[in-house]
A = this chain, B = another copy of it.
């Protein structure tokens, strides 16, 4: 377990987890690596390789036990516990995130939201009261927050990111369309929805070229 895990493997684990939850709901007890990868377009050897990075889960010829493998992946991904998530920026994207039910379902609770717009500070998003971003450091020093979502404009993202990293935050989901420059101890995922559309336009211009 000392070796590094490819990010692509981590993202696939999330997809295996969803497939297993679906199959468990259908009452399925065991599944082959072929079946597990099928819907996601992953080969059986890739599935086996991904899972082998974390231990030995299946029985040769019998496949993987569905509920047990699901529980193991939940443990690996940290889905068997609650995570406290902070949000900076309650514009259109940020507001949508506060209402996104899938987060809570999977154990990710947005516990605090900040903005710098005086008209938004004090207003509510569901149960959350929007706080002044000026108070972010004070809040993070007093309350435990595991990860932050940044949904702020591009020209403010770096400054806000440095501030929360200075308060000990080590995991950031960044919606601003820029690459943050942060110490390597901070894990950042960039969520850039334009890039997703660019993959679509590429696919339309280069039919059947994406593998």
Contacts and interface: CB of A to CB of B under 8 A. Distances in A.
Contacts of A93: 96, 100
A96 B106 contact: no
A96 B146 CA distance: 25
A159 B100 CA distance: 22
A197 interface: yes
A123 interface: no
Given A14-B198, A197-B83, A198-B106, A187 B173 contact: no
A147 B189 contact: no
B5 A201 contact: no
A210 B191 CA distance: 17
A181 interface: yes
Interface string A69-104: 000000011110001010000011101110110110
Interface string A174-185: 000111010001
A142 interface: no
A173 to B, nearest CB: 5
A170 B205 CA distance: 11
Given A96-B95, A100-B92, A210-B10, A106 B197 contact: yes
Interface string A96-139: 11011011011010000000000000000000000000000000
Interface of A: 4-8, 10-11, 13-15, 17-19, 39-40, 76-79, 83, 85, 91-93, 95-97, 99-100, 102-103, 105-106, 108, 146-147, 170-173, 177-179, 181, 185, 187, 189, 191-211
- The 9 A-B residue pairs with the shortest CB-CB distance, nearest first, are A187-B203, A4-B211, A78-B201, A96-B96, A171-B200, A92-B99, A92-B96, A14-B195, A78-B205
